[in-house]
Amino acid sequence: MRKVYRFLCKAEEVACGVGLIFLVILILFSAIGRWLKMSESWYIDLAMLALAWTSFLGADVAWRHGQILGVDILVKKLPKMVRSGIEILVLLIIFVTLIIIVVFGIRLAWVDRLAKYQSMPIPYALVTYSLVVAASSMIFTTLNKIRKVIISMIQKSPAPIAKEAKE
């Protein structure tokens, strides 16, 4: 299972890199086309599609690697167990929020399945699915973070009090 997860994480990182390169190329072609007075609107539409997928998948990559900004000034001075408890609470709130995003994202994609780009025969739902896929991936990342915090709490907690030796 871990090998599959690692493979999917690596595939997500590669997809972000390829998406960014694809996005830059599309924008460059669009700019050159405008300069040559041969504007094609589908370049921009396809670039927006690539932007949605790249940014949402990139958010999960950043979340997984701890590259998202946080404010720890309020909990920095608290004891380790209290900090861990607060971290689990925050991660659970994020987890619930991601589930809501997935559920309503699927509903929105269902509504968007009929609407298509004006310049391409691609449904808007393809953009909405980027949010659903990324949020689903972030759910697994969040569960993994919760697991790590719990393991850290168990390992750092004081040993159980040994029974006093009988005199």
Q: What is the pLDDT of residue 157?
A: 59
Which residue is it, tokens 């460059």?
28
Tens digit of pLDDT per residue, the chain (167 long)?
789 889 998 999 999 999 999 999 988 888 888 888 877 777 788 888 899 999 999 999 999 988 887 777 778 888 888 888 899 999 999 999 999 999 999 999 998 888 887 777 888 888 899 999 999 999 999 999 999 999 988 887 554 544 444 44
Specify the amino acid at residue 137. S
For residues 57 and 137, the answer to whether their CB atoms sit within 8 Å is yes
Residue 116: strand pairing partners: 123
Q: What is the pLDDT of residue 162?
A: 44
Structure letter (DSSP) for residue 137 = H
- Picking from 105, 158, 144, 157, the residue whose alpha carbon sits closest to that of residue 5 is 144
Q: What is the pLDDT of residue 108?
A: 92
